[in-house]
């Protein structure tokens, strides 16, 4: 037991160090800075020029992700006050008239659409990731349930039929034993039973002796540490802190998650003027540092608020 107490003390110390490290790292997280982008100097020639944001392609499993992120990016780009944005309604009407599908538009077609709209530049985007809060966990639970049902169905359909064959045993014929021999046999059986009982008693005595020895050892070791009040604190604190840290570190945290890839193309020259690509997770401390402390929980649970933060950071890279 004394070795156990020493180990608990060691765990307790390590648990405190790990806990402090996690707290410090979470509190000291710096705001995220976009680095996965480039901007051409030629983009400055488009100041106050007409720009059209084409409906984004959607690679996520959520159909409404296209409209939400296209509208949000258009809004955040307009807040810069750097371009004259073509109205979304005009773009949508053109797509309906020309029977255009955002999922099938390449860059050459997008340039033609830009010319039809009278735009100097177009912005094309792709929704690479779009997961509302707890979407992944729900889908995983559904997939697991489907697999279990399918496995049960296959096992039920392919299980071999069991055939039980009952064989009749031949009846035993009674054997005649003379009275004298029967008594001798009974005496022999009684002697064997007595010997077995004596052996069992001896075994039980040996087990009791071993148990007494173990108890005495345990009592002796416990007494060594009974006078130290830190033992109880080490046991309780070490177990609670270690268990808490392991649970926090190993358990997956549900969160909203969004990723987009966006680029700007000059309609007249076909030159790519700007491009950015990134994925934001609402529970990332660096992403949470971008908003006020009271809004950080919204980044995790509100996918629209996360998309607003993402598109804002994307738009800001155009000015850099």
According to the model, what pLDDT value does residue 160 have? 61
Task: Give the mean pLDDT of the chain.
Answer: 81
According to the model, what pLDDT value does residue 188 have? 59
Q: Which domain holds residue 245?
A: 1-30+221-253
Name the residue with higher pLDDT: 265 or 174.
Answer: 265
235 and 305 belong to one structural domain: no
60 and 121 belong to one structural domain: yes
Residue 227 phi, psi (nearest 5): -80, -5
Give the mean pLDDT of 204-233: 65
295 and 241 belong to one structural domain: no
235 and 259 belong to one structural domain: no
CA–CA gap between residue 106 and residue 281 (Å, rounded): 29
265 and 124 belong to one structural domain: yes
According to the model, what pLDDT value does residue 161 have? 57
* CATH code assigned at 312: 3.40.50.10610
How many structural domains are present in the chain?
Answer: 2
Give the mean pLDDT of 216-242: 62
18 and 39 belong to one structural domain: no
Task: Categorize the per-residue pLDDT at 137 as very low, low, confident or very high, splitting at 50, 70 and 90.
Answer: confident
258 and 132 belong to one structural domain: yes
DSSP type of residue 37: E
Give the mean pLDDT of 119-139: 93
239 and 106 belong to one structural domain: no
248 and 259 belong to one structural domain: no
As a whole-number percent, the residues of the chain with pLDDT over 90 amount to 50
CA–CA gap between residue 164 and residue 187 (Å, rounded): 43
CA–CA gap between residue 122 and residue 202 (Å, rounded): 94
Task: Report helix, strand or coil for 297.
Answer: helix
CA–CA gap between residue 9 and residue 14 (Å, rounded): 9
Task: Categorize the per-residue pLDDT at 28 as very low, low, confident or very high, splitting at 50, 70 and 90.
Answer: low
| Within a domain: 166 | no
101 and 241 belong to one structural domain: no
According to the model, what pLDDT value does residue 182 have? 54
Task: Categorize the per-residue pLDDT at 115 as very low, low, confident or very high, splitting at 50, 70 and 90.
Answer: very high
| Within a domain: 172 | no
40 and 125 belong to one structural domain: yes
DSSP type of residue 169: P
| Within a domain: 216 | no
| Within a domain: 313 | yes
Contact 50, 120 (CB under 8 A): yes
| Within a domain: 273 | yes
pLDDT tens-digit readout, 264-307:
999 999 999 999 999 999 999 999 999 999 999 999 999 999 99
| Within a domain: 195 | no
Tokens, residue 217: 């050892």
Name the residue with higher pLDDT: 81 or 20.
Answer: 81
pTM recorded for the entire structure = 0.65
Give the mean pLDDT of 38-58: 94
40 and 79 belong to one structural domain: yes
Task: Categorize the per-residue pLDDT at 207 as very low, low, confident or very high, splitting at 50, 70 and 90.
Answer: confident
| Within a domain: 5 | yes
């Amino acid at each position: 037991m004394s070795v156990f107490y020493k180990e608990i003390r060691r765990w307790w110390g390590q648990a405190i160090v790990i806990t402090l490290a996690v707290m410090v790292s979470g509190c000291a997280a710096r705001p995220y800075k976009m680095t996965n982008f480039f901007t051409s100097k030629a983009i400055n020639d488009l100041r106050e020029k007409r720009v059209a944001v084409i409906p984004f392609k959607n690679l996520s499993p959520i159909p409404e992700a296209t409209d939400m992120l296209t509208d949000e990016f258009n809004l955040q780009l307009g807040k810069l006050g750097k371009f004259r944005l073509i109205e979304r309604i005009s773009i949508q009407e053109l797509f309906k008239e020309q029977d255009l599908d955002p999922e099938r538009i390449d860059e050459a077609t997008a340039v033609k659409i830009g010319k039809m709209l009278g735009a100097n530049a177009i912005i094309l985007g792709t929704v690479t990731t779009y997961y509302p809060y707890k979407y992944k966990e729900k889908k995983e639970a559904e997939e697991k349930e489907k697999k279990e049902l399918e496995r049960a169905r296959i096992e039920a359909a392919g299980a071999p039929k069991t055939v039980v064959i009952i064989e009749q045993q031949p009846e035993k014929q009674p054997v005649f034993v003379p009275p004298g021999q029967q008594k001798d046999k009974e005496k022999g059986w009684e002697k064997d039973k007595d010997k077995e009982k004596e052996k069992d008693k001896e075994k039980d005595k040996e087990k009791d002796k071993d148990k007494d020895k173990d108890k005495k050892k345990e009592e002796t070791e416990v007494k060594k540490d009974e006078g130290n009040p830190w033992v109880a604190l080490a046991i309780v604190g070490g177990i609670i802190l270690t268990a808490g840290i392991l649970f926090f570190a190993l358990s997956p945290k549900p969160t909203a998650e969004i990723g987009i890839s966006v680029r700007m193309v000059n309609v007249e020259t076909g030159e790519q003027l700007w491009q950015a690509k990134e994925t934001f997770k609402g529970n990332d401390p660096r992403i949470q540092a971008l908003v006020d402390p009271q809004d950080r929980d919204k980044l995790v649970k509100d996918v629209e608020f996360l998309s607003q933060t993402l598109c804002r950071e994307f738009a800001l890279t155009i000015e850099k």
